[in-house]
Amino acid sequence: MEMRDSALSLNIMPVTLIEGEPDRTPLNSPTDNISFDSLGANLGQAVNKKIRENLGPRQLSLADEFNVYVKTASDSFPVLNPVAYMTVYGENSSSEEFQLILDDNQPILMPGTEDLFEVELLDVHLVEKIRIRLGDGQENWGGWHLEEVQLKNKGTGGAYRFPFNLWLSSTEGGNTEATINAVTSETGVDGNLPGVRYQVAITTGDRWGAETDADMYITLYGANGDSGQQWLKVSDNEEKFLRNQIDTFTITCQPLENLYKVVIGHNGIGHGAGVFIDKVIVSLGSFALQEYIFPCGHWLDDGQEDRKTERELLLLGICEIRDEEMESELEMPMSPVVDSDTQQAGEWMFTVKTLFPDKVGTRDFTIIAHGLSAVSTPVVIQLDPDDLGPEYEFKADMGNLGDIQKIVLERDSTDIDWNLHSIVMADNGKRCEYKFILYPRSDNGNHYLDLPVIRQLADPPFLTTYILEVNTLDRECEDDLPMYINLCGEVSEMGRRWLHRSDHEKKFIKGQVDRFELETVSLGPLRKCIVGHKNENEGEGIQLGKIVLREGPFGPYQVTFFCEQWLDIGRDDRLIEKELKPTVEEMLTMVEPLVDEPKKVDGDWNIWLKLDEKQGCKDVRLFITAYGANGNTADLPMNPLMLHGATYQYLLSFGDIGDLFKLRFTLMSNNEDAAWFINKIKLKNVTTQEELLMYPVDSLKCTTLCPVSYLEMPSIKPDVIPLQAFEYIVQVFTGDIESAGTSSNVWLMLHGEYGDTGMRLLKQSNTNIVPFRKGQVDEFFINSLDLGKLDHVTLKHDGKGRGAGWYIQKVVVKYALNDTVERIFPVYRWLDEGISDRKLEIKCPLLGDVDTSEIVDAMADSDGVWQCTIVTDPKGCHIGDRWNIEAYGEQEISSVITLDHLGETDLPTQCQLTFGNIGRIYKIRMTYENEDDMHFKWPIRNVKLQDVSTMDLLNFDFSHSLHPDNNNMEFCRELPAIRAGEEPRRVMNYWVCVHTGNHQETPVDPNVYVTLCGAHGDTGQRLLCRIGHHVIFQRNQMDIFAIEAVDIGEIEVLKIRKNPGGPWHLKEIILKEDQYSPIEYLFHLDDWLGGHDGEDRWAEVVDVELHRTAIRPGDIATPATDDLKLFSTEGEWEVSTVTSPEHNVVGNMTDAQVLLVFVGDKGETAPISLGLHQAVVQLGESQSKIFVNKDVGELQKLRIGFTESSTSPCWCLQSIKLQHLENKAQFAYTLNGWLKGYPRNPGWREIPVYWPGTIQHGVL
């Protein structure tokens, strides 16, 4: 190895001692001559301050000059201008940190070299350990393999050897510093300074998002110095720092003795990259008898609380580990573990140990003990100021308190420090002993110190600081008010505390809010507070408005205790102490505001996928979908790399979807048992550095029966409850009409307030072998994250061509097998390319829900009185709005009831309504009277009615329209009653086509209303109004309106009302049950409404009642687009027939041919041969192709027969299906009957052709 020798010139500040007796205290260690009795404290800062205040010069001696030899290993990485620092710790003191550098700036710390540095140190004397630290800005240095360091004293010749043999690196996860003890001393004797192993147990909190995969470090501090920054790499768990997990690490360093604090932190960057630390417990070795308890209870995250990623944790106390064998030998317990049912003696011996025996601390204080049974009376301690010493003893009778929980120290003055190290509290018979550690908390400057008991096998208590705000309404006396408070929670109570130190110079001034901080053991959820004062003279009290409490500056909850009374001997109830209960609890922000403008959430994310050790299938397609507060992405394709156990990184752009709250992975494969196993997912936003961790509990698996697999995972964010997993039970009702079923692939998607499930393939029905047949109910399970309140479902299928469609009646959804609430989504629509809008996809809004466990006797007598609860959107309601409600019963209609003060507060409106004896209610209607409000938005969310006498409960969801595509202003909505076990009435979308006559000269300006009347009721009066600026009722114009109403049956009467205004020439109105109904109702008038030809009727309200003029066929589909092949019989057809098992094929062989004839509204084809009888008529299914050379128009029926034959052909035909190979039109019919021919008689048999949406014709 190459040796380089060069002088090192350093201007090192000499360490100077105070005049008088030598102080042998190391600058970063407590004094050795103070007995701490198992607990030490770092007095370094205090001693440092004391020394610097009394600096005096001192000459250096030859004994302070050292040669430092630094050996770098040959596999180290070279770098230009490395920066490294060293600190030397000795018996007397420690050096200042100095940089390893040469005068001539020669390269240093190169691989395979040994560098010589010269340094001058003062009063280090016998060297015990050294620390090496990398400087800042060394990220480009691949790593320094430090092999060994030697120090040689120039004066004595003594040498110290430090065999590091470790790597130092500034890269992520690397150690930037190391501390090691000398293995060879000044005298050359080996091994006199051994290292010890500390067991560090770190508990990650049980909070959402508490886990982290950042690199964490810790530094232990004790009486002999500190451990240096130690990276926590090897845990006793496979995955470190998971939520609610305890990770144990081993740290080797010099014996620190008497630990008093730790510093813990990590290198994670970005919100979510941090960790919630519950506590840190340190013990010396695996079988230590003491555990040092360092509570934390805070986030280390730059997006939480105070945004710190490093925290200093002070010692709360020491837990004595119980050794039963040793206790038996000594015949006394070694730990404060006592039976909580045992009544402990009332007389106790207190031993108080001071921190500095020669320093005067607090001499007068009070001790109060809190037990499970009672709280002691205050014990006043008064020490002689002239009597200085290391400890004091006294006896006190505390009474029978039960198991001791804590003691509280109280003092009147905070002018001087407590100067207390510990208090030992033992009962007179030595049956129990408690030890309370005060240092380093005893220098907090508070009037009170809470000292909790720490017990083995019990969670240590937490200390917290309650932020207290006292609102003074009025006060007449300006003298200081001695006021106190006691907080009581579910766990314990604080005890009476005097409110000494406010954030105002003068406390409790009229109109002032005083802020106090009270440190105590955490009390749990607050249940009451007791507040009072000791001024017993009239007029010296306070009018207290309220008290607001928060647990710490970043506590998640704020509790308000309202008082608004005087605490005065001469006012109100004349009490000067009151017990207050919490009135308001509210969630608060838990993050300190950013100084700079927060970064806008960007859509670019890095995502890492760590695969499981299991091998997945390679022939798959993988997609990811991200959901945010503003929407979701499309299904984004990913390259599904499949090297098991590997981690893959992707850069994905999610766009402006807002706050990310869930991901869904979709795997598609036709391979049997194709799978993909994900062990861990990590996401990091490119711009904001927000970080998310996900640990999937399921894998993605495809099968032949289900070639698509889904996996959804919520975003786990700090202290945010993520979406929970749900198993939705979906029932799909196929209509019971001809050709309603489908054999196509069907997909369904649930939509709610928290996104959707994505399109799920419905392949395996739980109730039927073959799904989606006519009149069938199919049940499916859909595993997804919670969607919140469901809004609508989307259905689609892939059956192309007319007749390949599907008629859905409704969809019903439950949240789980034991869920009794059914959510109903009515459909009543064809999804077919030959009808309606020709689309194969439909969105179905929620009608409402019903609890199937609440069935009320339909025959029960009702008094007609109902309790009504109405939930509104406050933004849509205004003071003075007038709303009406009316109910439709099976016997009659209720009167219209006006609802006053609806929605004037954020709370639901409750009232009692008398509908009278109208029979069972089957629908209700809500109407807004101010129809001139063109900015109106529907504000009613929910109406709940409960019969006072029968308890019949009806729930109406008015939050959305069932036909959201309507372009009408809705001032009126009605919904059917939904009852368990009963089919609710359909909500129709009536199509109103108004034809203004050819004589109209100017548009009609007044409002026009219509009421549709049918066999089952009416729609109520509805305003004909369109959204936007469309001018209606112009000359010879057809205006179309939609009216959403509960089914009224066959429409018979139309009532029209025209408000005062200009005349209107109405030609006719055409009504349809929906836009594509096959039947339309005509109401013809061709007359004026209002004055005309000199008649002065402008001021009149004109009412007209029209009876139905005619019923005629209507258009059932929109015009076909260019990409949709129109139906035509001409072309090639594929014919599939199924012969019944009843047919005896062998006994019915014949030379006859099977013939088909297509019959339409434009004629019929000539007979077309399907093939020879013996070829077509085969058991099971057979297929053949035919060509039709003529278009017969709308196909109405099919004729099947045989050619003339000498034999009598017959065929037991089970079913037949035909599909046009070009336009994909298809139809099928199940016959299950015989076709029989005779000589010179083809035996024709006709079967009907059922097209979706057309009027069905029977078979005679």
Q: Which tokens hold the place of 1050?
A: 């066959």
H or E element: which one contains 116? strand 113-120
**pTM of the shown model:** 0.78
C-alpha dist (Å) from residue 722 to 244, 750, 1219 = 16, 19, 50
3-state DSSP assignment of residue 1173: helix
Distance of alpha carbon 1145 from alpha carbon 1138, whole angstroms? 13
Instruction: Specify which residues 424 forms β-bridges with.
Output: 351, 435
Distance of alpha carbon 142 from alpha carbon 152, whole angstroms? 30
665, 710 Cβ separation under 8 angstroms: yes
Distance of alpha carbon 287 from alpha carbon 278, whole angstroms? 23
Which DSSP symbol is given to 958?
Answer: -
Q: Which tokens hold the place of 1098?
A: 């402008």
State the amino acid at position 877 in one-letter form.
Answer: C
Buried b (16+ CB within 10 A) or exposed e, 318-349: bbbebeeeeeeeeeebbbbbbeeeeebbeebe
State the amino acid at position 318 in one-letter form.
Answer: I
3-state DSSP assignment of residue 940: strand
Euclidean distance between the first and final Cα of the chain, in Å? 110
Cα 1205 → chain centroid: 77
Instruction: Specify which residues 927 forms β-bridges with.
Output: 884, 972
H or E element: which one contains 327? helix 324-330
Distance of alpha carbon 478 from alpha carbon 574, whole angstroms? 20
User: What pLDDT is stored for residue 391 in this prediction?
Assistant: 84
Over the chain (1260 residues), the average pLDDT of each successive run of 10 is 34 26 28 29 30 30 74 91 90 84 85 91 78 88 91 77 88 83 55 70 95 94 86 90 95 87 93 95 83 94 92 92 54 44 67 80 85 89 73 86 90 82 80 84 80 86 91 89 94 92 92 94 91 92 94 86 94 94 76 60 86 74 93 88 78 92 92 83 92 89 86 93 94 94 95 94 94 96 94 94 93 90 95 90 95 80 92 77 92 92 78 93 92 80 94 92 78 94 93 91 81 94 79 90 94 93 90 92 92 64 94 86 74 92 64 90 93 78 91 92 81 91 90 83 88 67
Q: Which tokens hold the place of 1075?
A: 């836009």
Q: Exposed (0-12), middle (13-18) or buried (19+): which is 77, by Cβ within 10 Å?
A: middle
